[in-house]
Amino acid sequence: MAKIKAFKAIRPEENLANKVAALPYDVMNYEEAKEMVKGNPYSFLHIDRAEIDLEQGITPYDKKVYEKAKNNLQEFRDKGIFITDEKQNIYVYRQIMDGRAQTGIVCCTSIDDYLNGIVKKHEYTREDKEIDRINHVDYCNANTGPIFLTYKRQHEIDKIVEEETKKSPIYNFSSEDRITHMVWVIDDDKIIKKIIDIFEKIPSLYIADGHHRTAAAIKVGQMRREQNPDFKHDAEFNYFLSVLYPAEELKIFDYNRVVKDLNGLTLERLLYKVAAYFEVEKLEGVQEYRPEERHSFGMYVEGCWYKLKAKHDNIDEKDAVASLDVSILQDALLNPILGIKDPRKDDRIEFVGGIRGIKELTKRVNSDMKIAFSMYPTSIEELMKIADEKKVMPPKSTWFEPKIRSGLFIHSLQ
């Protein structure tokens, strides 16, 4: 059963929250991060992507970057940009995007729940990315980015959230992408205990986003245990920062693909090969195509959209992973036809989050790529089923929006 705890949040001074809050470190490159912080010395990217404050060309894995992140965090605290709550609280974080709200419980989650499989994953992680976040957490001695977790809706939690959000929020602002962010503090110990007790009855939590941050938090916690063999079970390093959202409130966007070439094929030969696995319909005059159901795909090549529908005899619905649309596209087209054997490593393929829109696919094909595929979004039910079966999804299967902003909550490991 899930074990959570309250914590003393390190968080922005109220009037600076909108300037501090930043997108997660891994959704932008160096140049984009550098541009985002122009004119904003308060941005959390100065901590999360500290290389932007160092000499041009420095690798983000350089020791200097982690030292800079640590120093910047301390400077933010010294200057009063960040304050530290005096008691352990639980928080409520609501985001509103295009009229749709998702409201999460901000708390700390047990690293043992991850090690014991109560916190379930659905993706593999890359060692280099793990090491990066391990160093970041270790140097900062804090979880600086919350993990995006989800759970099956609990009406008791809903009732508590409903009552708490009638109060005045400590933060209420809109970010540059027109997403509203609101935060409330739950400081009543009786209510905190009630929330903790409810989650102790929940058998599973699921990682929605943040597998590398989770793995890093766990490994730093294990390092601290080795350094402190007489540790207490309530030691802060035994827990990692999380936001827990009910699954029913979440939205997964499509995660689309663009490929640099046709693997030596002519368009005629490509369509012939594709037709062996898919029903192919040319969409004359259509400017963009977004699939409307599972097992259907859009394909944009040489200025034209095609609708692809996977043939049923090629789908094994009993296999939770193989029946994913991202798996079908990979196994029936990207690998055998376009020669993309390992999408994690092949530099001929790139992934485009659905938040950028279908026009981004046509733009890329008309500039630096050759072919694009629009996808039907993976469902939260598919994610949970795969995690329950202790399986993993192919890379870039899910894109959640809105993203949790970094910098609104920091959890010290001391």
What is the domain-level CATH number for residue 322? 3.30.1760
Do 236 and 295 belong to one domain? no
CB distance 12 to 81 below 8 Å: yes
Nearest to 290 by CA among 215, 193, 356, 246: 356
* Average pLDDT of the chain to the nearest whole number: 96
| Residue 336 binned pLDDT confidence (cut-offs 50, 70, 90) | very high
Identify whether 147 is part of a domain: yes
Do 134 and 85 belong to one domain? yes
| Residue 247 binned pLDDT confidence (cut-offs 50, 70, 90) | very high
Identify whether 62 is part of a domain: yes
Do 88 and 117 belong to one domain? yes
Q: What is the pLDDT of residues 83-115, one digit of tens each?
A: 999 999 999 999 999 999 999 999 999 999 999
Do 73 and 38 belong to one domain? yes
Q: Write the DSSP assignment of 164-209 as a string of letters.
A: HTTSPPSEEEE-TTS-EEEEEEE--HHHHHHHHHHHTT---EEEEE
Q: What confidence score (pLDDT) does residue 145 get?
A: 92
Do 239 and 368 belong to one domain? no
Range(s) of the domain holding residue 141: 4-251+401-412
Do 50 and 198 belong to one domain? yes
- Burial track 216-248 (b if 16+ CB lie within 10 A, e otherwise): bbbbbbeebeeeeeeeeeeebbbbbbbbbbbbe
The pairing of beta strand 205-209 with beta strand 119-120: parallel
Identify whether 304 is part of a domain: yes
What residue type is 79 in one-letter code?
K
User: Mean of the pLDDT values across residues 49-66?
Assistant: 95
Backbone angles phi, psi at 284, to 5 degrees: -65, 130
* Least confident stretch, 72-76, 125-129, 151-155, 296-300: 125-129
Identify whether 12 is part of a domain: yes
CB distance 114 to 238 below 8 Å: no
Could you tell me where the DSSP H helices lie in 25-126?
30-36, 45-48, 63-78, 111-115
| Residue 27 binned pLDDT confidence (cut-offs 50, 70, 90) | confident
**Is it the case that residue 169 has pLDDT exceeding 80?**
yes
Do 29 and 150 belong to one domain? yes
Identify whether 395 is part of a domain: no
Using only C-alpha atoms, the chain has a radius of gyration, in whole angstroms, of: 22
User: Mean of the pLDDT values across residues 307-315?
Assistant: 90
Do 72 and 144 belong to one domain? yes
Do 371 and 296 belong to one domain? yes
**Is it the case that residue 314 has pLDDT exceeding 80?**
no
Q: What angle do CA 113, 128, 77 make, to 5 degrees?
A: 70
**Is it the case that residue 191 has pLDDT exceeding 90?**
yes
Q: What is the pLDDT of residues 107-154, one digit of tens each?
A: 999 999 999 999 999 998 889 999 999 999 999 999 999 999 999 999
Q: What confidence score (pLDDT) does residue 207 get?
A: 97
Identify whether 181 is part of a domain: yes
Q: What is the pLDDT of residues 208-246, one digit of tens each?
A: 999 999 999 999 999 999 999 999 989 999 999 999 999
Identify whether 389 is part of a domain: no
Share of the chain above pLDDT 70, in %: 100
**Is it the case that residue 395 has pLDDT exceeding 90?**
no
User: Mean of the pLDDT values across residues 69-74?
Assistant: 98
Structural domains in the chain (count): 2
Do 278 and 211 belong to one domain? no
Length of the chain counted residue by residue: 414
**Is it the case that residue 160 has pLDDT exceeding 90?**
yes
Q: What is the pLDDT of residues 343-380, one digit of tens each?
A: 988 999 999 998 889 999 999 999 999 999 999 999 99
Do 73 and 197 belong to one domain? yes
Backbone angles phi, psi at 76, to 5 degrees: -60, -40
Identify whether 194 is part of a domain: yes
Distance CA 235, CA 85 (A): 17
Do 107 and 158 belong to one domain? yes
